[in-house]
Amino acid sequence: MPCDRRVATQRGIEHIGFGVWTISDGSLRASGFACRKLSVFARLHSIAAVALRSCRREFRILNLLKQIRAAIAALVVAVGIGFSFASAGAQEGPPVDTALVVSVDVSNSVDDARYRLQMEGIAKALEDPGVIEAITGGSQGGILFSMVTWADTPSFVIPWIRIANKGDALAAAKRVRNLPRQGGEFTCMTRMLRSANDKIVPQIPAKASRIIIDVSGDGPDNCNADEPIEKVRNELVSNGVTINGLPILLDTPEDSALLPKAVPGGRPPLEQWYRDHVMGGPSSFVLPAQGYGDFERAIRQKFVIEVSSLTSMKYSTANR
């Protein structure tokens, strides 16, 4: 079709120029050189229209990205508020006399029999009438109890639970007995204490008059930790935590090369190591077990001392 007969149905335009004659009744007519210019103009208009559509798409994408970023920011704020509430909520329960973390060595030296002796010893201690009386006889009438097993890494196997009566104590004992077998290779005590400082102690769900970490094991830390154990211990102490030790003394101690030399008439090397590197904080003490067979007696006595502040003070003074 000749160019001068070409009709473009573009409405609302009265004159374009470049030799375009007229636009009437919504039709556009051009011829000659003007037709070529009009063809160029049409192509430019087409390109501009494509570019405009592309810009609109990009604008919509940018707008969508802005909305996504805003939603993420709102989520971060909401999560932060949630954590703040969680931290605040960690202190909302009724106060207790003691918040007690019982940490148990389950490294390579702890076989199935030794593991059972430890778990059964803790369970029986919680069931002991003298321990229950000490737990319920404080000014607040109860404690918070939690448990950590540790070897290469620590596991928070029993989160914080409240023990305020005999039923609570028996339920806690049952949970201890039902724990699945834990295990590992090395005695990474420093890592356990770091985890307790950073994750367990901050989540205590009530105000506690005393915070105590009970550390038991049959050898010194042998993990080549990234930081000295004394540094982590001192940090815990500065945060108001008392650390007590229950070294399990063996005829052939684990990693004896890492222990101080035995002194005639002095304390056993592992007990001395616990005193030098583990024990810390107000009224802290070390109470050794004479092998795994003596663990039940030692942990029961230790529980009574730890949840009875006056007894703990007397024992600590006499035990230094």
* Blockwise average pLDDT, block size 10, the chain, 320 residues: 43 44 45 47 57 61 66 51 40 87 96 96 97 93 96 96 97 97 91 96 95 96 91 97 96 72 86 96 96 97 85 47
Structural contact between residues 230 and 279, judged by C-beta atoms closer than 8 angstroms = no
Q: How many Å apart are CA 214 and CA 237, to the nearest integer? A: 13
Q: Let me know whether 150 and 222 are in one domain.
A: yes
| Element of type H or E holding 301 | helix 295-307
Q: How many Å apart are CA 22 and CA 158, to the nearest integer? A: 89
Among 43, 64, 89, the domain-final residue is: 89
Q: How many Å apart are CA 143 and CA 280, to the nearest integer? A: 21
Q: Let me know whether 175 and 201 are in one domain.
A: yes
For residue 245, the cross-strand partners are: 215, 286
Structural contact between residues 210 and 245, judged by C-beta atoms closer than 8 angstroms = no
Structural contact between residues 247 and 288, judged by C-beta atoms closer than 8 angstroms = yes
pTM of full prediction above 0.85: no
Q: How many Å apart are CA 277 and CA 292, to the nearest integer? A: 22
Q: How many Å apart are CA 18 and CA 32, to the nearest integer? A: 11
- Strand runs labelled E in 141-296: 143-150, 154-163, 206-217, 241-247
| Full domain range(s) for residue 55 | 1-89
Q: Let me know whether 100 and 247 are in one domain.
A: yes
Q: Phi first, then psi: what are they for 209, rounded to 5°?
A: -65, -30
Q: What is the pLDDT of residue 122?
A: 98
Which residue type sits at 54?
Answer: S
Count of domains observed in the chain = 2
Q: Let me know whether 259 and 194 are in one domain.
A: yes
Q: Let me know whether 98 and 79 are in one domain.
A: no
Among 44, 67, 89, the domain-final residue is: 89
Q: Let me know whether 52 and 160 are in one domain.
A: no
Q: Residue 216's domain is classified under what CATH number?
A: 3.40.50.410
Among 62, 89, 116, the domain-final residue is: 89
Q: How many Å apart are CA 29 and CA 22, to the nearest integer? A: 6
By three-state DSSP, how is residue 24 classified?
strand
By three-state DSSP, how is residue 12 classified?
coil
Q: Let me know whether 219 and 286 are in one domain.
A: yes
Q: Phi first, then psi: what are they for 129, rounded to 5°?
A: -60, -35
Q: Distance between alpha carbon 13 and the CA centroid of its chain, in Å?
A: 70
Q: Let me know whether 151 and 260 are in one domain.
A: yes
Tokens (6 digits) for 2: 């000749």
Q: Let me know whether 211 and 110 are in one domain.
A: yes
Q: Let me know whether 179 and 79 are in one domain.
A: no
Tokens (6 digits) for 320: 């230094």
